[in-house]
Structure 1
Amino acid sequence: MSSEILRWLQRDPDPDTRRELQHLLDNQDQQELEQRFSGRLAFGTAGLRGVVGAGPNRMNRLVIQETATGLARYLLAQQINAQQRGVIIGYDGRPDSRQFAENTASVLTGQGIPVYLTVRVAATPLVAFGVRHLNAAAGVVVTASHNPPQYNGFKVYWGNGAQIIPPHDKGIAEQIEIAAQSQLSLMTLDEAKENGLLTLLDTPFYEAYRQALGNSALLSNHTSPGAISLAYTAMHGVGAEMAEALLKDAGFDQVYSVAAQREPDGRFPTVNFPNPEEPGAMDLVIAEAVKHDATLAVANDPDADRLAVAVRTETGQYQMLTGDQVGALLGHYLLSRTSASQALVGTTVVSSTLLERIAHWEGAHYYQTLTGFKWLTNVAMEKQTENQRFLFAYEEALGYTVGDLVWDKDGLSALVAFAQLTAELASQGLTLWDRLESLYRQHGLHLNAQRSIALSPGAPAIGDALRAHPPEQIAAEAVTAITDLKQGTIDYSDGRQERVALPSSDVLIYQLASGSRVVVRPSGTEPKIKCYYEVVEAVQEQEPLKQAQERAAGRMSELIATHQASLS
C-alpha cells in the first residue's frame, strides 16, 4: 500500500468511502486506484465537479473538507471582513449534497467564519441571490447541476454575487493544495450554533427571493396571464416549489407540473441524462403539455439555473426553442419594457449575433464575453454605469439572467419573464412564432449549430495549425475577418488589424462575407474541438419564412460539411 493511500485512509472521515477504498486495495484494482490517486480534482472558475467516490480525484467528504479549508484561508487573506460577513451555503437534492454542505459549514466555522446554511434544498439562483442579500463574503452551492447521478460539485460565488473568476480560482486552488497536506480544523454544527457562527436559513430566506422577484419591475407585466397555460418539470431537481409559487404570484393559474419529476431525486429515475438539451429529456413535460393542450412546455434543469422551452405549433405539436431563440425573444421583450438607450445587454462569443443586432437597432448598449456566465455577469458589473444599467444576458446553453437581482443564470426568473412575454403576445392575438418571424424579417434569419469534432490521438495542437494556415474562404465564402482571442487580435482581409478587449483564450472566430460565422474552440485536454456555426439569411418582404429557413438550412449543411472536411 502506498503512503499516499494509507494517509488518505487515515484522514477520510467517511466510513463508506474508506470501505470502498479498502475494497479496491483488497482486490488489487491497480487501474482504478491509479485513476483515483493520479491527481486531484482540479479547482477552477466553476469550482469542483466530479464523480462521487473515494480518493483525491473524486468528490467525497475529505475532498470537500480540504476544498472548504482552502476557500476559508483564501477568504481570510483576501477579505479582512470575512469573519463578519460570513458565507452562505446551499445544496441540491443529490444523495451526498446535504452532507457535503454541512462539512463545508463545519470547516468554515472552524476557521471562525460565520455560515448561513439553508435548511433544505435550494435552487442555485437562490444562493447567488443570498450572497448580496446577506452581504456575505462568498457563497457555496453543492450541486452537479445537470450532470449524471454519479456526479456532485462545489460551486463558489465571490462577495459580489457572481461566480469566481481569475485570480480567485488560482488563489483558492493554491490554498487547497496546502490544506491537503495540513491538519484540518472543524467545528461541529452544534458547537457552531452555540458560538453564534451558524445561522439556518429557513422559509423567510426563500420568501425573500420570492418577494424580490415579485417586486421586480422587469417581472411586473401581468397582461392576461390567464390567456396561456404551461406544463412544467423540475426534472427531479429543486425548482418545482419556487417555480410554481412565482408563477402563481404572477397570475398564471394554468400550470401543470409533471408529478413523476416534481420532487428532488438525485437518482433521476425517469431521464437517462438530466439535461433538458439531451434527446428525450423533455418527453414527459411535452406529454403533459399535450394532455392539457398547454401553450408552453417548460423545464428547469435540476438546480434550476437554466430554462428549456418547447412551444405549441399550429399543428398542435411541440417544438423546442434553441437557447439562442429564447435569448433573442427575452432580450427583445425586456428592451421593450425599459429605456433601451440606458440598457446594457450581453452574450458570449459562441452565442448568436441576433441579440447584438436587436440591441443596436433599439439603441441599447451591447457587450460580448468569453463563454460562461462567470464572464457575462462580472463584465456586466464593470461596464454598467448610472446611465447604462444592466438589463439582460444569456448564453446559448439555456442560461439567462433578468436584471441584477441574481448575478448568475437564473432559470426561475427567466421562466416568469418568458411566461409574461408569451401571455402579452397572446393578448394581442400573436404567438412566439409570430414574434420570432418578425425578428427574423427585420434582422435576418439567424440559424445556429454546434458540432464537436474528434481528432486523431497524438495530432498536433489544432489551434496552432489553424493559426499557421488561416483560411481565405470557407464553403466558397470569403473570410473577411479572423478574430484570435489567444493573440488578442482581429485581422481583416484588407490588411487592417485591431486589438480585442477580452481575456486570452484559445478561440478563433471566422467572419464570412455573407454575415455567417464559424467559431472554433480547441480542447486543451483532449484531441477534439468544438465548432459553432451561424448562418444569417435575409428574408425577402413577401417571401414565406419557410423558404428562407430551407435556404438557411442548406447553407448550414454546406458550411458544416466543408469546414469539418478542412479539419480532417
Structure 2
Amino acid sequence: MSSDLVRLARSWLDQDPDPDTRAELAGLLESGDGDGLRERFAARLEFGTAGLRGELGAGPNRMNRVTVMRAAAGLARVLGPGAHVVIGYDARHKSDVFAHDTAAVLTGAGLRASVLPRPLPTPVLAFAVRHLGADAGVTVTASHNPPRDNGYKVYWGDGSQIVPPIDAEISAAIDAVGPVSGLPLGSPDDPAWTTLGDDVLEAYLKAVTALPLGSARDLRVAYTPLHGVGGATLAAAFAAAGFEAPAVVAEQAEPDPDFPTVSFPNPEEPGAMDLALELAGRVGADLVLANDPDADRCAVGVPLPGGGYRMLTGDELGALLGEHVIRQTSGGDRLVATTIVSSSLLGKIAAEHGVRYAETLTGFKWIMKAGGGLVFGYEEALGYSIGSDLGLPVHDKDGIGAALVVAGLAARAKLDGRGLLDLLDDQARRHGLHATSQLSFRVADLSLIADAMTRLRTAPPTRLGGREVEAADDLSAGAGGLPPTDGLRYHLSGGARVVVRPSGTEPKLKCYLEVVVPVTGEVAAAREQAVRDLGALRTDLAEGLGL
C-alpha cells in the first residue's frame, strides 16, 4: 500500500467530522486495502457546471461532508461576505446533513443562508433563488442517479444553473480551501441562518398554477414520484389548480433513499414505470405521470387505442408542450428553445407560428441562456420549463409545472374526444413524422469513450443507416456559434441527424438519433418506417463505435 495514499488518507481522517466515513476510512487503513484507498484518493470529484455528483463515501473521489464543506467554502469565497444563498435538498442519504453543513460554512464565512424547511423538489429551490432575491442557490441532490450517489448543484442569482466561467472560479476557490476542521462554522441559532417556512412553497404553487393550463379539468391521472420528493408538492399543485387528486402508486409514494422498487430511479429506465402503468390500467387513467426523485423531470404515459399504455418520448412531449404554450400565449418576442440533441421538430413548429427559436448546448443551464422572451424550453431527457407573459417562473426544468400543463392539455383533448396521440399525429401530418431514439454505452473505463470519439474524428463515417452523411460538425470547435463542447453532429440525407457526445454526469457515451419520415398516407405507416430507419442507424453506429 502506497505511503502517499496512507498519508492522504490519514490527513483526510484528521479533518472528517462524519463518524460514518471516519469508520469507513479507518477500516480501509487497518485492513491495508490499497485498492479501496486508491478508488477514493487517486482522483477527486471535479466541480463543474453540473456541480458535484458521485458515490457516497470517504475521500476526495466521493461525496461526503468534507467534499461538501470544501465546496461551500469555495462558493463563499467567490460570493463574498454578506451574500445571500438559498439551500435546498432532497431525501437521499445525507442530503439534509450536506445542506446544513453548507449553511454552517456559509454563515461561518459571513454570508446569509436560507434553508428550505424539508426535502422539496429541485424546482422549488430554483424558484426560491429569484423569489427571495438571493445571490445564489445550492441544492443537494443526485436527481435520478443510483441510491449510493449524491450531488451538489449550484444556481446563480438569476435562478439558473451556473455556466462558465463561474464554475471554474468556484473550482479554483475550492482548491484553495485548507482542512475543513479549520473553517469557522455558523449554527442554526445564528441570525444569518434562517430556516424558511412554507411561504416560498406557497409562492411557487401560485406561480405554477398560473401557467397556461386551460380550463378543462376532467381527467383521471395515475402518478408516481418514484420514491422521491415530488409527491406532496404535485398533489398540492393539482388541488390548487382544480384537478382531481391523482391515483398514486402506494409502493412509491413516500420518499425512500434506497428506492426499493426500482433498479434505477429514472422513469426512462426499463421497468421503472411498471407499477405506474399497472395502476393506470386498474383505475382507467387518462394520463400517466411520473417525476424523477428530485421532481425536476416529468414523464408521461398515454392510453393506446387498443388497450394498454405507452410512454411518450421526451421529444414527443416537448413538441406537444411547446406548441401548447405557443398557442396559449401571444406576443412577437416569444422564444422557445431546445438543445442540439433534441428533435428538430420544435423549430418547425415555432416557424409555423412565427415564434423565435433557438438551439443550445445540452443542459438546462444553457437553455436558460437562450435569450429574452423565453416562454418554453425543453431537453429530450424529460426536462421542461414552461412560462407565460414572456417569462418563466422557474429558470430550470420543472417536473411539477410540466405535469400540470400536460394535464391541462390532456383534459382539453379529452373534452374534444381526442388524446395526446391524436395531437402528435396532427403534428406529423403537418411537419413529417420526427422520430428520435438513443443509443448509450456505459463503460467502466472512461478512456474507452475518449478512444471512440478519437476514432470518429480520425475516420468519420460517410454513410449511416443507409443514408449519406451530408455534413459533419465537430462541436469541440464551437460549431454554429455555440460554446465548444465534446461532441460530433452528423447531418444525413432525408433530414436525419445523429449527435454523439460523452455524458456530463455518467460514465456513458450517448448517441442521439433522429429521422424524419414524410406522411403521405396513414401516420401509423410512417411510424413503422421510422422504427426501421432508427434501427438501421443504431446498427451502423454500434459497429462504428466499437463499444
Match status 1:208 vs 2:195: no
8 Å CA contact 1:458–1:527 kept in 2: the answer is no
- Select which of 35, 47, 66 maps to 1:43: 47
Letter paired with 2:497: R
- 5 Å-filtered alignment, 1:58-207, equals 58-76=62-80, 83=82, 85-181=83-179, 184-192=182-190, 196-207=191-202
Structure 1 segment 232-271 matched on structure 2, within 5 A: 232-271=223-262
Measured in 1, the distance between the counterparts of 2:96 and 2:507 equals 37
Q: How many residues align?
A: 536
The match for 1:475 among 459, 465, 490 is 465
Displacement of 1:3 after TM fit?
2.3
- The Cα offsets for residues 262-290 of structure 1, whole Å up to 9 and x where unpaired, read as 11111111111111111111111112111
Matched, 1:443 2:431: yes
2:212 corresponding residue in structure 1: 219
Aligned mate of 1:433, from 421, 438, 442:
421
TM-superposed deviation, 1:182: 6.7
Are the equivalent residues in 1 in contact too, given 2:126–2:394 (CA < 8 A)?
yes
Distance 1:563 1:270 in 2: 33
| Inter-partner Cα distance in structure 2 for 1:321 and 1:527 | 26
1:462–1:522 CA contact under 8 A, matched in 2: no
C-alpha distance 180-219 of structure 1, shift in aligned 2 (>3 A): farther
By how many angstroms is 1:9 displaced?
1.2
- Within the candidate set 484, 502, 513, 2:482 is matched to 502
Say whether the 8 Å CA contact 2:16–2:181 is kept in structure 1: no
| One-letter code aligned to 2:282 | K
Give the whole-Å Cα distance in 1 for the aligned partners of 2:316 and 2:450.
36
- Aligned partner of 2:360 in structure 1 is 369
Q: Which residue of 2 aligns with 1:530?
A: 510
Q: CA deviation at 1:342?
A: 2.7
Q: Which residue of 2 aligns with 1:485?
A: 475
**What SS does structure 2 have at the residue aligned with 1:148?**
coil
- CA separation of 1:443 and 1:236: change in aligned 2, threshold 3 A: same
Distance, in Å, in 1 between the alignment partners of 2:76 and 2:251 is: 39
**CA displacement, residues 390-442 of structure 1 (integer Å, 9 cap, x when unaligned):** 11011011000002111100000000000000011111111101100000111
Is structure 2 residue 440 aligned with structure 1 residue 452? yes
Unaligned residue ranges in structure 1 (runs of 5+)? 77-81, 490-499
In structure 1, the partner of 2:313 is 322
Matched, 1:552 2:540: no
Matching residue of 1:514: 494
C-alpha contact (below 8 Å) 1:65/1:103 kept by paired residues:
yes
Quick check: 2:93–2:150 contact (8 Å CA) kept in 1?
no
Match of 1:401 in 2: 385
Alpha-carbon separation, structure 2, partners of 1:522 and 1:124: 25
CA displacement at 1:31 relative to structure 2: 0.4
Query: What is the alpha-carbon distance in structure 1 between the residues aligned to residue 381 and residue 506 of structure 2?
Result: 21
Contact 2:15/2:180 (<8 A) preserved: no
Cα deviation, 1:146-186, whole Å, max 9, x if unaligned, reads 11111111111011110011111111111111114576323
Check the 8 A contact 1:453/1:528 in 2, yes or no.
Answer: yes
Q: Using the alignment, how far apart are the partners of 1:29 and 1:314 within structure 2?
A: 58
3-state SS of paired residue (1:189) = coil
- How far did 1:477 drift? 2.4
Of 30, 48, 53, the match for 2:57: 53
**Structure 1 pair 528–417 and aligned structure 2 pair: CA distance change class (3 A):** closer
| Pair 1:523–1:153, CA change in 2 (3 A) | closer
Query: Matched residues in 1 for 2:78 and 2:26: separation?
Result: 33
Q: What SS does the corresponding residue of 1:358 show, helix, strand or coil?
A: helix
Amino acid at match of 1:555: D
Alpha-carbon distance in structure 1 between the residues aligned to 2:409 and 2:353: 18
Range that drifts further, 468-477 or 500-509: 468-477
- Whether 1:283 and 2:285 are equivalent positions in the alignment is no
- Determine what percentage of the aligned residue pairs are the same residue: 47
- Structure 2 distance, partners of 1:449, 1:36, is 36
Check conservation: 2:502, 2:508, Cα contact below 8 A: yes
Seen in structure 2, the aligned counterparts of structure 1 residues 112 and 524 have a Cα distance that, compared at 3 Å, is closer
Q: State whether residues 222 and 251 of structure 1, in contact with CA within 8 Å, keep that contact through their aligned partners in structure 2.
A: no
Moved more, 178-187 or 551-560: 178-187
Q: Is contact 2:455–2:545 with CA below 8 Å preserved after alignment?
A: no
The amino acid across from 1:252 in the alignment is F
Query: Is the Cα–Cα contact under 8 Å of residues 450 and 531 in structure 1 kept in the other structure?
Result: yes
Cα distance change on mapping 1:115 and 1:526 into 2, 3 Å: closer
**Native 8 Å contact 1:340 1:362 kept in 2:** no
Q: Which amino acid aligns with 1:487?
A: A
Which SS does the other structure have where 2:270 is aligned?
Answer: coil
Answer yes or no: is 1:231 the counterpart of 2:219: no
TM-score, normalised with respect to structure 2: 0.94
CA contact (8 A) 1:69 1:184 kept: no
Quickly say closer, same or farther: Cα 1:311–1:33, change in 2 above 3 A.
Answer: same
1:33 aligns with 2:37: yes
Alignment of 1:347-366 (within 5 A): 347-366=338-357
> Which amino acid counterpart does residue 275 of structure 1 have in structure 2?
N
CA distance in 1 between partners of 2:241 and 2:189 (Å): 42
CA contact 2:449–2:508 (8 Å) conserved in 1 = no
Q: C-alpha distance in 2, partners of 1:458/1:303? A: 31
What are the Cα deviations for residues 324-350 of structure 1, in whole angstroms up to 9, with x where unaligned? 001000001111111263310011111
Q: What's 1:494 paired with? A: none
Contact 2:212 2:325 in 1 (8 A): no
Please give the alpha-carbon distance, in whole angstroms, between the structure 2 residues aligned to 1:401 and 1:205: 19
Change (3 A) 1:220 1:567: closer
Matched to 2:397, the amino acid is K
C-alpha distance in 2, partners of 1:293/1:524?
A: 39
**Structure 1 residue 459 displacement after superposition:** 9.0
Note if contact 1:70-1:172 (Cα within 8 Å) is conserved in structure 2.
Answer: yes
* Cα deviation 1:282-341 (Å, max 9, x = unaligned): 111112111110111110011000001111111220101000001000001111111263
**Residue 332 of structure 2 aligns to a residue in which SS?**
helix
The offset of 1:360, in angstroms, is 1.0
- What 5-or-longer segments of structure 2 have no aligned partner? none
Deviation at 1:213, TM superposition (A): 1.8
Helix, strand or coil for the counterpart of 1:347? strand
Q: What is the one-letter code of the residue matched to 1:211?
A: K
- 1:334 aligned to 306, 318, 325, which one? 325
Aligned partners of 2:246, 2:351: CA distance in 1, in Å?
36
Cα distance in 1 between the residues matched to 2:286 and 2:503: 40
Measure the CA separation in 2 of the matches of 1:460 and 1:178.
30
TM-score (norm 1): 0.90
Task: Quote the Cα distance in structure 2 between the aligned partners of 1:430 and 1:454.
Answer: 40
